């Protein structure tokens, strides 16, 4: 019997603008708007793909509306990776929104992923591990 090690790898595709907002350093340069899809995704797929490692990519819905990003996501899914919902607009105050607003964020991202990217998500990742008491 051989022992195998298993793990799950998920990557949040948070754009550079998300980091500018959370650190309060102003507006991100326009040329970096899709840098995660243009630079980080190819690097990650070059790392994981040849090793047969599949990843769950958590996608911000509005980013998936950009046609080249949608194409990238379809290619990832066609390669066997999972695409997850990471809300529509990646609100930093998601835990403080009303239940209806949270539902809208999830539903709107789901619509984009179904209609624009033609993918159905089974997973949702909230932003920044935030939660609220019920
Ligand atoms: Zn995030």
Reported as a single tens digit per residue, the pLDDT across 87-97 is: 999 988 888 88
- Would residue 58 count as lying in a domain? no
- Would residue 2 count as lying in a domain? no
Contact predicate 89/105, CB 8 Å? yes
Q: What is the pLDDT of residue 134?
A: 47
Name the residue range of residue 25's domain. Answer: 10-50+67-129
Ligand 1 centroid to 91 CA: how many Å? 9
- Would residue 134 count as lying in a domain? no
- Would residue 3 count as lying in a domain? no
- Would residue 61 count as lying in a domain? no
- Would residue 59 count as lying in a domain? no
Neighbours of 121 (CB within 10 A): 20
pTM value is 0.85
Q: What is the pLDDT of residue 126?
A: 63
Q: How far apart are CA 93 and CA 97, in angstroms?
A: 7
Low-confidence residues of the chain, pLDDT below 70? 1, 123, 125-134
Q: What is the pLDDT of residue 82?
A: 92
Give the chain's domain count: 1
Ligand 1 centroid to 133 CA: how many Å? 20
Q: What is the pLDDT of residue 29?
A: 93
Ligand 1 centroid to 16 CA: how many Å? 11
């Amino acid at each position: 019997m051989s022992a195998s090690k298993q793990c799950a790898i998920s990557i949040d595709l948070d754009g550079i603008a998300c980091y500018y907002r959370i650190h309060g350093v102003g507006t991100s340069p326009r040329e970096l708007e899709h840098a995660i899809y243009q630079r980080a995704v190819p690097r990650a797929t070059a790392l994981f793909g040849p090793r047969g490692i599949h990843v769950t990519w958590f996608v911000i819905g509005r980013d998936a509306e950009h046609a080249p990003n949608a194409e990238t996501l379809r290619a990832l899914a066609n390669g066997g990776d999972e695409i997850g919902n990471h809300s529509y607009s990646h609100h930093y105050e998601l835990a403080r929104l009303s239940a209806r607003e949270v539902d809208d964020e999830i539903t709107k991202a789901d619509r984009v992923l179904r209609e624009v990217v033609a993918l159905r998500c089974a997973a949702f990742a909230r932003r920044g591990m935030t939660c609220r008491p019920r």
